[in-house]
Structure 1
Amino acid sequence: MSKQLKSEIECTLSTGAKGRVFPLHWQGQDLWVKQAVVSKHKVWHRVQRFAAGLLVIPMLRPTVSPGGKSGLDEEASHLLRMREHGVQVPELVMTGESWIVLGDNGSILKDHVKTALADGEDGKARDLIEKAARGLADLHLRGCAHGAPLLRNMTLRHDGSIGFIDFEEDPEGCMPAADAQARDVLLFLFSIQREIKKRPDLLHVGWEAYLDHAGEQADALRPLSTVLRRIFPVYLVLMLFRRWLGTDALNAVQTYQILCRDIDPRQLMRKQRAA
């Protein structure tokens, strides 16, 4: 089977597969083939690393994939590690020199949320966000960190549970586990703000559901409260240049404002110290 599947993949690639990730139906299975890409390291990542050291915020360290076969190997290792901890990730079916084959892990959660909102089903959208937040909290309670738990990297599996895909970034190799999990929380909430405009209530829903499931003594809370305090000067600078900011920067500013209104860093620190 391995030789036949490999031959099928190579044939598909030789005829010009569309996209870096493409579906492949093989002997009754829905599979996904993911190709290697060149390194994504940029000058910006050096600046980011310097800023992380200057601000003493480990979660700001860049976690970009090295690309090529090394990048695929790291992603496969990250996936297998989470699978061993019981996280709902796709099966690693096969690896090649320039690609990996993954099993199907459900449909993209972002699409379900947006469809629900477009159809006026606000209750369903809230339920999906709550389910996603609980899924991320469960992943953290199992001692793991995803790296990029955006709505587009979360899935709704056939059994209704939350699954995870896309493991190119592995923050656990760059920072303490608690910081990696705090980074996950920020990215998850930022994703809600970015994908679902003018619905800060859904960001609140996501945060409250995460905190309820992870608990007020969750490892991610201490570094999360720390980063909210330390990036305040950065927030002030961004506010000065707000009219010239791009979409992502504006979403980051809005997310920070909502978090600071919803999350009192001093209160979080007091709860952690009292534990």
Structure 2
Amino acid sequence: MNAVTLSPSDIERVTRSSGWRAQRMEVLDTASGKVVVKGQRPARHPVRYQLLNLLARLVGVPYLKAAPMLGGAAAQQTELARLRALHAAGAPVPRVLHEAPDHFVMQWLGEQHLGDLLQGGDRQAALLWREGGDALVRIHAQGQYLSQGFARNIIVDTRSQPPRLAGMIDFEDDPLQVMGLAEAQVRDWLSYLHSTLWALAPLLPQDQVDAQLDAWMAREPAEVRRLFLHACPKLGWLRRLPRHRRFGRDTVALQAAAAAAHRYAERHDGPMAPTESSRERIRK
């Protein structure tokens, strides 16, 4: 993506616009490309955190708990700090172009996300899924982590052919406020698998999914592998949830991720590198 800069007239136009004030987010065209203006949101009701934290305690996986999303100026400062830290580490995130007390402007990466392509059965979706996981491994290797590593926050550039991963968005919360780095990185994986595997099933055979997961984990630090393996059997019982979509997408998504976690736990007594047969399946 070409570098985008804002002219004084662009900044004045952003400041005067009512779009981001009414809708909180607005995409604007500038002379050097599209940008996203993001206003501040109110703090979310604490019941959302309480329910997720209750689930984390019930299943015994503390790194599932919610990170506080305070809203307002605090959330904006959190997102700006996360975007700048990730950008400095070489992660594919939007560059911050302008900051004001009640909004900021960043690069526009695109309008479609990985979830769109997976659910639409795009022929490139499985490759993009692998690209997304590879990006997670690289981000973690730099000592970084996402905030909400869901497919909806992984933007795909469909203007290029074939489509390619454009970057990650949505950093209004910081998991390190309530957990350690390795836990936040495992949280990324759980979010990623939960939001992708249910739609990936028709596009990629199960053995290739499992082999790819083994390969990703083999590249992660030992503590991340240990915590991920700790979580898998605790989540595995949720594989018994209904698989049919008439029970709702959330139920199906949770079932698919739990089934993959159960298979991973069955394959591993501890952290291990992928076998030669796993590498062969990945190359297919």
**TM-score band (shorter)?**
0.7 to 0.9
Q: Percent identity?
A: 19
Equivalent AA in structure 2 for residue 223 of structure 1: L
Distance 2:167 2:71 in 1: 24
The answer as to 2:17 corresponding to 1:12 is yes
Give the corresponding residue for 2:249. Answer: 247
- In structure 2, the CA distance between the partners of 1:214 and 1:228, relative to structure 1 (3 Å rule), is closer
**Structure 2 runs not aligned, ≥5 long:** 1-5, 274-284
The answer as to 2:209 corresponding to 1:212 is no
Counterpart of 2:257 in 1: which secondary structure? helix
Distance 2:233 2:270 in 1: 11
Give the corresponding residue for 1:257. Answer: 259
The answer as to 2:244 corresponding to 1:222 is no
Distance 2:205 2:245 in 1: 25
Give the corresponding residue for 1:104. Answer: 108
Give the corresponding residue for 1:139. Answer: 139
Counterpart of 1:223 in 2: which secondary structure? helix
TM-score, normalization: structure 1?
0.79
Aligned residues: 262
TM-score, normalization: structure 2?
0.76
Structure 1 residues 44-53 or 126-135, which shifts more?
Answer: 44-53
Give the corresponding residue for 2:52. Answer: 48
Counterpart of 1:89 in 2: which secondary structure? coil
**Structure 1 runs not aligned, ≥5 long:** none
Q: Does structure 1 retain, via aligned residues, the 8 Å contact 2:118–2:200?
A: no
Structure 1 residues 251-260 or 52-61, which shifts more?
Answer: 52-61
Q: Does structure 1 retain, via aligned residues, the 8 Å contact 2:148–2:188?
A: yes
Distance 1:66 1:189 in 2: 26
Distance 2:204 2:168 in 1: 24
Equivalent AA in structure 2 for residue 82 of structure 1: L
Distance 1:245 1:166 in 2: 28
Give the corresponding residue for 2:270. Answer: 269
Kindly report the root-mean-square deviation, in angstroms, between the aligned alpha carbons of the 2 structures. 3.4
Distance 1:221 1:170 in 2: 21
CA shift for structure 1 position 55: 5.6
Equivalent AA in structure 1 for residue 156 of structure 2: L
Q: Does structure 2 retain, via aligned residues, the 8 Å contact 1:133–1:207?
A: no
Q: How does 1:161-200 map to 2 (within 5 A)?
A: 161-194=165-198, 196=199, 199=202
Q: Does structure 1 retain, via aligned residues, the 8 Å contact 2:218–2:271?
A: no
